[in-house]
């Protein structure tokens, strides 16, 4: 009853004032409050009940363990509320969200570490309430050197990932929602866990990578210091292409789309081979998604411009063919052979005309 009243009051205050603190308390406090209030009630009422000593001891022990678990859950609740209050001040749904992503990444890792520490401490305290397990714990502490060595060897991969997570949280090689290229896959950092990182690939697949991977392998981070990116596309044309007209068209294309960031718009001849020119269009965009869309848009419009206005400037292959009748051993053919060749050519042309 007390739990329901407290939650109802918090919910009403949250709806009325829009308090982030109240909303966080209501969201995270429903679970712990189911155990804290009943456990406190049992601990308060139990001493006054006329029960045998043996049964009273067992019930008090069970209630004590429940109270330890409830307190641990309450500590986890306050950790979550503090994390919500701090990260709630930094929004990541805005254009300039570099600081917000850094803060959220750090507190996400600290939140998980603090939660794990509370769980370990609570389990240890609960186990120490059993005399037999307490003696076992004391014997383990007596051989702490050997035990730590064995545990360290057994948990080598786990510990390396935990240490890597702490290093990543503070060194910040990447943050939540950073655009990265890993193992040839392009996507965004969706989640940074205690043991792994989830990358959301552009086609909505998920790439799950251990944290230790990022300390041992290189990867691309497209939003390390800024979300701005340069996008490029290549166009292959004939040598007769009017480069200045194409450069003016690129400027017009960039100015016609909101995908362009408005700083870089360059067209250059980057290569010239036997049969064609290679032209590179370079543009800037506000983020990786818009850079990709801008590259595709510019490529389509430039090709369309060439097709409509300069179709002769599209790539072509040229060949000069020379046919000459030669006689035996490379000598010029006689007049009779030349006349025969002329008749054969006329017959062939006539046959082609009939066929057509």
Q: What are the residue ranges spanned by the domains of the chain? A: 1-89, 105-226, 229-313
In contact, 215 and 164? CB cutoff 8 Å: yes
pLDDT digits (tens, 9 = 90+) for 258-281: 999 989 999 999 999 988 999 999
- How far apart CA 142 and CA 155 sit, in angstroms, is 21
- How far apart CA 61 and CA 130 sit, in angstroms, is 9
Going by the DSSP 8-state scheme, the letter that residue 331 receives in this structure is P
- Angle at CA 26, nearest 5°, toward 20 and 30? 155
Note the Cα 128 to chain centre separation in Å.
Answer: 43
CA dihedral 197, 153, 218, 199 (to 10 degrees): -10
Going by the DSSP 8-state scheme, the letter that residue 88 receives in this structure is T
The verdict on domain 229-313 having CATH code 1.20.1110.10 is: no
Q: Do domains 105-226 and 229-313 have the same CATH topology?
A: no
Q: Which residues of 236-254 are buried (b: 16+ CB within 10 A; e: fewer)?
A: ebbeebeeeebeebbeebb
pLDDT digits (tens, 9 = 90+) for 297-334: 999 999 999 999 999 888 887 776 665 545 444 455 55
Choose from 31-40, 99-108, 149-158 the range with maximum mean pLDDT: 99-108
Task: Judge whether residue 230 has pLDDT over 60.
Answer: yes
Alpha-carbon separation of residue 269 from 148, 244, 247, 314 (angstroms): 64, 11, 10, 15
The H-or-E segment that residue 271 falls in is strand 265-272
Give the pLDDT of residue 80: 79
In percent, the amount of the chain with pLDDT more than 90 equals: 22
The pTM score is 0.51
Q: 98 CB contacts (<8 Å, ≥6 apart)? A: 175, 223, 225, 226, 227
The verdict on domain 105-226 having CATH code 2.30.30.60 is: yes
In sequence order, what DSSP letters do the residues of 206-259 get, joined into one string? EEEEETTHHHHS--EETTSS-S-EEEEEEEEE-TT--HHHHHHHHHHHHHT-TT
């Amino acid at each position: 009853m007390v739990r329901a009243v407290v939650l109802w009051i918090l919910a009403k205050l949250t709806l009325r004032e829009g308090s982030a603190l109240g909303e966080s308390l209501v969201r995270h406090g429903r679970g712990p409050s189911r155990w804290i209030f009943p456990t406190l009630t049992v601990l308060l009422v139990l001493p006054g009940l006329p029960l045998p000593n043996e049964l009273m001891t067992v019930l008090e022990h069970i209630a004590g363990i429940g109270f330890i678990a409830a307190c641990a859950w309450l500590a986890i609740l306050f950790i979550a509320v503090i994390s919500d209050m701090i990260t709630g001040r930094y929004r990541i749904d805005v254009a300039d969200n570099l600081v917000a992503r850094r803060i959220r990444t750090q507190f996400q890792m600290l939140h998980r570490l603090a939660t794990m520490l509370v769980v370990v401490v609570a389990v240890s305290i609960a186990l120490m309430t059993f005399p037999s397990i307490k003696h076992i714990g004391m014997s383990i502490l007596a051989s702490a050197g050997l035990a730590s060595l064995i545990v360290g060897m057994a948990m080598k991969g786990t510990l390396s990932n935990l240490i890597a997570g702490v290093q990543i949280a503070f060194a910040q090689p990447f943050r939540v929602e950073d655009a990265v290229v890993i193992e040839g896959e392009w996507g965004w950092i969706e989640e940074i866990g205690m043991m792994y990182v989830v990358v959301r690939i552009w086609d909505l697949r998920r790439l799950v990578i251990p944290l230790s991977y990022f300390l041992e392998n290189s990867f691309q981070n497209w939003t390390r210091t800024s979300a701005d990116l340069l996008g490029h596309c290549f166009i292959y044309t004939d040598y007769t292409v009017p480069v200045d007209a194409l450069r003016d068209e690129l400027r017009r294309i960039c100015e016609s789309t909101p995908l362009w960031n408005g700083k870089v718009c360059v067209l250059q001849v980057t290569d010239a081979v036997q049969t064609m020119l290679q032209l590179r269009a370079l543009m800037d965009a506000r983020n990786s998604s818009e850079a990709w869309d801008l590259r595709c848009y510019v490529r389509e419009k430039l090709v369309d411009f060439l097709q409509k206005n300069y179709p002769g400037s599209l790539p072509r292959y040229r060949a000069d063919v020379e046919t000459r009748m030669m006689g035996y051993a490379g000598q010029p053919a006689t007049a009779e052979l030349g006349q025969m060749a002329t008749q054969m050519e006329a017959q062939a042309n006539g046959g082609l005309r009939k066929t057509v």
